[in-house]
Structure 1
Amino acid sequence: MMASFDEATDGFYHWLVSSARIEISPKIFVGDLRSVNQGRCVLASQDIGSDEVLFEIPRSSVLNVATSQLVRDFPQLKDVFWQELGHWEGLILCMVYEIKVMGQQSFWWNYLQVLPKSQDLNTLVYWSADQLAALEPSLVVGRLGADESQEMYRQILKYIQNFGPEFQSKIGQLTFEEFVHVASVIMSYSFDVDLKGEDDEDDEDEDEGEEEEGESNVAHDKYMKSMVPLADTLNADTKQFNAHLVYDKESLKMVSVKPIKMGQQVYNFYGEHPNAEILRRYGYVEWDGSQFDFGELPLSCITQVLQREAPEEFFQICLQLLQNDETILEHLDQEQIVLESYDCFIDGQVIPECLLLLQVLTVILQIPNVGENLERELQRVVKKCLQLVESGRLTIKCLKLFEHCIDERLRQYPNHSFREVTPIHQYVHDVDVQRGIMAQRVLQSEVESLQNCYLSLGEKFQVIDDVKLMDNILKKRVAPAQKTKNESKRKRTH
């Protein structure tokens, strides 16, 4: 029989103190904020000052490939988990083993009972096609990684088979639904825990040069993807966070980073993510917007606007040269400025790759008879425009092009994206309604970011007349030809 919410919380808290040996400050407690769609949380029972340890977790009570019963039962697999398996594959298999094989005998059983079930998760992998459609035109829908999930699932099934018949018989059949659930919980709740205190410095020279490019595992990366009981009970907020996790040699400590008043929630920080990414990874949104919100300007929007000025084929050639020409790449320190999309942040900042691309294309359009000299002209223009953008300057036409591109992008959003969303202040039983409101908040975050960049770019850069820049570029372009003409005259007069 499944325990009730309160029973599961009580069992979890008892396990934290008695079995996991986690030292918890009397100034905090595990609260219930389901009434406002925030589930379990950590609240302050007393005023808390800065730099106070809220709880301390022994590394032995953190669930990962070093502590799981799987590696204890199959010690011959330890090196495989440490040196061969990726972080995700390793932790997924360990959690599956604790849930399916160990069950109630698992050391982490009471902890596993408070992790969300599939029906409680709002991460985008659980959204229906109709629910995902409410997020259009946000590009976050294209980052669900469905193909990658299928490939990881197939890889894990191969590992199970390769680990031998005894391992297979214990694990049994791992369905795709079980895999997705565990992977989703890991995405929402795991931490990357540094291997502090590990005596591996002497091995660095031996391993150097032997690791394959792109290799990612515990031995290579010196951290373990881990489930950290109680630390993952904290909700997170990019603006209100007041605590963070500190890694010591023998333990992990949650430490306050600012004063917390009695009754206030203790918030962690999950990273510099916009609302769209918070929803994809963790299944919630920040109703007042993330501090790191941004909208995305797709390359397709830029090319669509530019096609009003010149044929599409011309710009496709330009983009190919910008991506592949060695001289251009040398100017750019081998960095690409042709990207699938460009981030436009809530504070009005635009990534420099976007502005440099627009400035280059603006200039190349103004060069007469570029024709067969396009490659050479682009090389010169990139160098000149790079100097311009790095000095904090843009031309009037570049700024206008940016504004037209933002206009084009904003027209793709539905009308409700431009209206303020009413936050969900009480539990919503209808999943479609709940997810629809969250989708609207994501779109509002993106629209606000794009609008802020539209309004403030001209204030963040010194805007100069195109004539001044073009005179400089065309002057250098014409000079060699003029010299050749004068030399010809001299030859004819002799």
Structure 2
Amino acid sequence: MKDFDGASLAFLAWLQRSGAEISPKVKLEDLRDAQAGRGVVATQDITEYEVLFRIPRSAILSVENSILSTEIPASTFEMLGPWLSLILVMLYEYTNGPASNWAPYFSVLPTEFNTLMFWSDDELAELQASAVVNKIGKEAADEAFTEQLLPVIKEFANIFFAGDVRAKQRAGEMRDERNMSLMHKMGSLIMAYAFDVEPATPRKDVDDEGFAEEEEDEALPKGMVPLADMLNADADRNNARLFYEDSHLDMKALKTIRAGEEIFNDYGALPRSDLLRRYGYATDNYAQYDVVEIPMELVTEILTVDEERMAYLDEQEIVDTGYDITASSPFTIQESLSPELIIFVETSLLPSEEFERLKRKGKLPKPEKITSKGAETVLKIVQARIAQYATTLGQDLQANTENPQPGNVRVKECRFAMARELRIGEKHLLKQTADALAEIIARDGNSTKRQRAIDDEGDVEMGGVEKKQRA
């Protein structure tokens, strides 16, 4: 407890020496009893838009602020990109220990992680058929470290390990398991805590009409913002937000906050699968953003599509690697089921003459006009997706009632419980979809074709759809 509190006090003292301004109405608090690590709590009532704390841009742990940026060519950082550049800088500052300006900051950052990157094989197996298993990216990260990051460290070893006679040897040792794990930890810190830092002076190329090039928006520099990243996140209780100013960043209250209440940031509309992948925990507050992916391989296993139709659907940007089912309240097919999946299925089921007429007009079936036959096909796809999970929804719910509280169990059991919660959310969403499709089929009749609307020219009514953003 003493080391934990002492690190917090040393961190706050360093932050204020660095020019930060912290309102006396807030404090950094030990929330480990609530499984929340450190958090920020109001000590007095706070009004809407009141500044909770102000962090100077110079205190941000970023490429721009690290001395390493003055020692290594800018072209090297550009080659690495925002992620690997920040990992490189954080490795440099971390290995410098007490000599680093950010040493008190590193002392309050976690050293153990619950993110999927650090789960064992048997723990990952508990996720069963969740698509998040294929999005962990450990192999890709290892490849990026080996092929891009390590060569830079080796090339600039005398700078990276300045003053160390073993600099070249230490650079070679960065390939060992311990140091590769350290790189993963730095990457996990960035994933969980870093912000996309808007520059004080925009560096975007602007055309004659004053519009910035789109590519520039995709590569905002990343930075670790001390204290701002100590706020826990909550989709329902979000009451603060970070605002970017020329010389500093302000954390402001978004609503009245009463004394004793915790101050929460928000991760945005993240499904619990991404919450677990990126931050290492899952909470019911993000169940409203749950999503299940239907892989294209499964769709084409159930539905045979000829090359001509596949080419046309691809041309119309309907073909994708997978299709999402997202949570909605109240649940409806129109709100939750990917319109591209409905269009894909309905187009595939069209009689040849009807498809040719559709193709000549360059149109697509309207996703809200799903037919009984289309609903039957989608239902088969959804049922096949449900069958990919090793346990049923009922079995998971039963096991969940027998699960003890996280504070009383080991890390492995906690991870098993989080994986089960994730599975339950996905299976519940699939069940809602299957039930809704069954209702459509029952309403329209299993063997009765629904009459399609006919336009003024005698063609089947078709129409495009705006491509929905996949989670």
| Same structural fold, with TM-score higher than 0.5 when normalized by the shorter chain | yes
* 2:91 counterpart residue number: 96
Q: Deviations over 1:322-347 (max 9, x none)?
A: 4434xx555x2xx2334334333344
Deviation at 1:164, TM superposition (A): 6.0
1:111 to 79, 91, 105: 105
Secondary structure in structure 1 of the residue aligned to 2:430: helix
Q: Write out per-residue CA displacement over residues 358-406 of structure 1, whole angstroms, 9 at most, x where no aligned residue.
A: 2222x33xx3xx5xxxxx864545688965425x321122123223322
Which stretch has the larger CA shift, 294-303 or 53-62?
A: 294-303
Q: d(CA) in 2 for partners of 1:35 and 1:250?
A: 37
Which of 40, 43, 51 aligns to 1:42? It is: 40
Deviation at 1:34, TM superposition (A): 1.2
Q: In the alignment, what sits opposite 2:116? A: 124
* Equivalent-residue separation in structure 2 for 1:383 and 1:401 (angstroms): 25
Answer whether contact 2:347 2:365 (CA < 8 A) is retained. no
TM-score normalised over the length of structure 2: 0.81
Secondary structure at the counterpart of residue 86 of structure 1: helix
Correspondence list, 1:431-442, <5 A: 431-442=411-422
Say if 1:69 and 1:98, in contact at 8 Å, map to a contact too.
Answer: no
Q: Partners in 1 of 2:197 and 2:432 — Cα distance?
A: 37
Which residue among 392, 396, 411 is the counterpart of 1:417? 396
Deviations 1:144-199 (A, max 9, x none): 1123112211110112233364446287432211211111111111111111334x
Structure 1 segment 241-256 matched on structure 2, within 5 A: 241-256=238-253
Distance in 1, Cα, partners of 2:299 & 2:376: 12
- Between the aligned partners of 1:49 and 1:40, the Cα distance in structure 2 is 23
Call closer, same or farther: CA 1:386–1:267 in 2, change over 3 Å: farther
Partner of 1:355: 342
Query: How big is the shift at 1:128?
Result: 0.3
2:134 aligned partner:
142
Please give the alpha-carbon distance, in whole angstroms, between the structure 1 residues aligned to 2:20 and 2:196: 19
1:68 Cα shift? 0.9
Q: How does 1:39-438 map to 2 (within 5 A)?
A: 39-72=37-70, 74=71, 76-81=72-77, 83-100=78-95, 102-117=96-111, 120-154=112-146, 155-163=148-156, 165-167=158-160, 169=167, 172=171, 173-174=173-174, 175-198=179-202, 200=203, 204=206, 221=218, 223-306=220-303, 315=304, 317-318=305-306, 320-325=307-312, 328-330=313-315, 332=316, 335-347=317-329, 348=331, 349-361=336-348, 363-364=349-350, 367=351, 378-381=355-358, 387-389=364-366, 392-413=368-389, 414-415=391-392, 416-418=395-397, 421=400, 427-438=407-418
State which of 458, 469, 480 in structure 1 corresponds to 2:452. Answer: 469
Maintained 8 Å contact 1:238/1:291:
no
What's the CA shift string for 1:84-128, capped at 9, x where partnerless? 32111110110011011x2102111111111111xx200101000
| TM-aligned CA deviation for residue 230 of structure 1 | 0.5
Change (3 A) 1:459 1:6: farther
CA contact (8 A) 2:318 2:344 kept: no
1:158 maps to amino acid:
P
> Within 1, Cα distance between the matches of 2:128 and 2:339?
26
1: CA distance, partners of 2:290 / 2:231: 21
Once residues 239 and 455 of structure 1 are traced to their aligned partners in structure 2, the CA distance between those partners, rounded to angstroms, is: 28
Q: Give distance in 2, aligned partners of 1:22 and 1:457.
A: 56
Which one-letter code corresponds to 1:14 in the other structure? A
Gap change, CA 1:34 and 1:104, over 3 Å in 2: same
Task: Please say which of residues 408-417 and 430-439 is displaced more in the overlay.
Answer: 408-417
In 1, Cα distance between equivalents of 2:372 and 2:190: 48
Count residues in correspondence: 430
**Counterpart secondary structure, 1:223:** coil
For residues 383 and 204 of structure 1, do their structure 2 counterparts lie closer, same or farther at Cα, with a shift above 3 Å needed? same
Cα 1:221/1:379, change in 2 over 3 Å: same
Distance in 2 between residues matched to 1:443 and 1:383, nearest whole Å = 44
Counterpart-to-counterpart distance in 1, 2:398 and 2:357: 45
The answer to whether the 8 A contact 2:54-2:250 is kept is yes
Asked if the contact 1:22–1:56 (Cα under 8 Å) also holds between the matched residues in 2, the reply is yes
The offset of 1:222, in angstroms, is 6.1
Deviation digits for residues 25-63 of structure 1 (CA, Å, limit 9, x no counterpart):
222111122112111111121222222211111000001
Match of residue 11 from structure 1 = 10
Does the 8 Å contact 2:343/2:366 carry over to 1? yes
CA distance in 2, matches of 1:460, 1:60: 59
Give the counterpart letter for 2:424 in structure 1.
Q
Q: Distance in 1 between matches of 2:440 and 2:14?
A: 54
C-alpha contact 2:236 2:285 (8 A) present in aligned 1:
no
Classify the secondary structure of the residue corresponding to 1:453.
helix
Q: Does the 8 A contact of 1:322 with 1:338 survive in 2?
A: no
Q: Which runs of 5+ in 1 are unaligned?
A: 307-314, 371-375, 478-494
What is the letter of the counterpart of residue 156 of structure 1?
L
Q: Which amino acid in the other structure matches residue 34 of structure 2?
A: V
3-state DSSP class of the match of 2:451?
helix
Aligned partners of 1:282 and 1:195: how far apart in 2?
A: 25
Structure 1 residue 460: Cα displacement: 10
Q: Is the 8 A contact 1:345 1:450 kept in 2?
A: no
* Inter-CA distance 142–426: structure 2 relative to 1 (3 Å threshold): closer
Q: 1:485 aligns to what?
A: none
Q: Greater share of helix residues, 1 or 2? A: 1
For residues 425 and 260 of structure 1, what CA distance do their matches in structure 2 show? 29
Partner Cα separation in structure 1 for residue 300 and residue 396 of structure 2: 24
In the TM superposition, structure 1's runs of 4+ consecutive aligned residues that sit over 6 Å from their partners are 382-385, 457-461
TM-score, normalized by length of structure 1? Answer: 0.78
- The amino acid of 1:417's aligned partner reads D
| Structure 2: 5+ residue stretches without partners | 162-166, 461-471
Say whether the 8 Å CA contact 1:294–1:346 is kept in structure 2: no
Contact 1:356 1:386 in 2 (8 A): no
Identity, in percent, stands at 32
AA matched with 2:345: L
Task: Check 1:79–1:321 CA distance in 2 against 1; reply closer, same or farther (3 A cut).
Answer: same
Cα deviation, 1:223-277, whole Å, max 9, x if unaligned, reads 2110010011011122221111111111111112122222222111112210011
